[in-house]
Chains A and B, each alone.
Chain A
Amino acid sequence: MVGKLVLALLAVALTPLVGGLLAGVDRRLTAWLQSRYGPPVLQPFYDVLKLLGKTKMVVNPWQALSASVYLAAAVTSVFIFFMQGDLLLIFFVLTIGAVFLVVGALSAPSPYSQIGGQRELWQMLAYEPLLILVFVSMAMVTGSFRITAILEHPTPLLYDLPLMFIVLGYVLTIKLRKSPFDISASQHAHQEIVRGVLTEYSGPHLALLEIAHWFEVVLVLGICSLFFATSALGVVVLLAATYFLEILIDNVMARMTWRWMLRSVLTVGLVLSLVNILWLYVA
């Protein structure tokens, strides 16, 4: 128990470093795909440090609270993950964070952040059912929602749940704010709805959101790693392949509308989930 606690605390301390490096590698790979040189790998850290040093400007106190709760929720869910706790608890904590991000955006009267907040709600509506189905199918295979039980499972979950991994890929794309699902706040198209949910945040609060985003990315990649938890090499290969595929999709796809997102995610995602879960019953 103490060992787990130390591991979890260590993981929470290291997650921002890993998340920031991932974001840096992401930007470099994106630049490579676009025949550019790209920023230094440490660029996300420079950005966040700079934002932390800027003057605090808030539209109203809700924003400061929302940014802090979003970060706290992301940190807590990563902590629960590395404590090998309950997947459902992680899901609920993550949802609280996402809701507060929307609350912060909707608290400002700016049309950009209002639209961004509403689009973020649509995104949540798209990925949350899929994420819970991924967790339910994991529980169906291993008999428990606890990560300890999943880690004790003798064969990789990927063999039993190949389609659910694709479904989780959808969730990852939405969570990473990658095309075609970067409708509420995208890394690249700064001009379109300015930056959606992030429009009214500035300086240190924007930095908190960025750090929270790194935590969420690490968490979702951690959930991906559960699919091949039996071998360390398998985890590394699976995560590297998944992340590269995300970046590739981001670069070759255009942004889609929220209607398209809802339609494609809920039909393709739900059908894939249904087929996989039925298959589990039959097999």
Chain B
Amino acid sequence: MFTDLINKGRLKSPWIMHFDCGSCNGCDIEVLACLTPMYDIERFGIVNVGNPKHADVLLVTGTVNHRNKHVLKNLYDQMPDPKAVIAIGACGLSGGIFREAYNVVGGVDKVIPVDVYVPGCPARPEAIIDGVVKALEAVKVKLGLTA
């Protein structure tokens, strides 16, 4: 019964941490827009934390390059399990328009495992909220909760 309660908590309280790997900052601002009273993602128990040790969901925006991939990996490793990763925007998915630059690694999934991809340039706040909901579905599958 206690495990059921904990699982319920996991689905109802995804604390997000948001890391911008660089580039134009557009997706970054759309993520922050989700936190404003207009979209108010706190309705769903989502809280923006600035600390990987408190976070459940890692939102990654921007282009991963050879310098910041170590930071990204470090942040991911500091998050306690169970955790999920959402790659946001064209740059997060594949490197976007920067993908052929010599310093660019490519998508976020080249460095850490990604659960949900949210496309867009920039991704809309609605799409990001949908992405978090999808990530919760992925967590459900991981926990074996889907019938």
Contact = CB atoms under 8 A, between A and B. Distances in A.
A279 B74 CA distance: 60
A191 B50 contact: yes
Interface stretch (A34-42, A236-244, A268-276): A34-42
B37 A52 contact: no
- Residues of B in contact with A, size category: 20 to 34
A214 to B, nearest CB: 16
A54 interface: yes
Interface of B: 3, 5-10, 12-13, 15, 37, 40, 42-45, 47-51, 53-54, 56, 78, 80-82
A31 interface: yes
Given A34-B37, A38-B42, A46 B13 contact: yes
Main secondary structure of the interface of A (DSSP, over half): loop
Most buried by A among B6, B9, B48: B9
B9 A45 contact: yes
Nearest to B82: A54
Interface string A161-204: 00000000000000000000000000000110011001111110
Given A36-B40, A46-B45, A57-B53, 6 more contacts: A35-B37, A36-B43, A37-B43, A53-B10, A191-B50, A195-B49
Contacts of A50: 6, 9-10, 12-13, 56
Given A47-B9, A50-B13, A55-B80, A202 B54 contact: yes
A200 B45 contact: no
Interface residues of A, number: 35
B80 to A, nearest CB: 4
Contacts of A21: none
Most buried by B among A50, A51, A198, A200: A50
A219 B31 CA distance: 38
B53 A200 contact: yes
B12 A46 contact: yes
Contacts of B7: 53
A199 B37 contact: no
Contact of B51 (A43, A49, A55, A194): A194
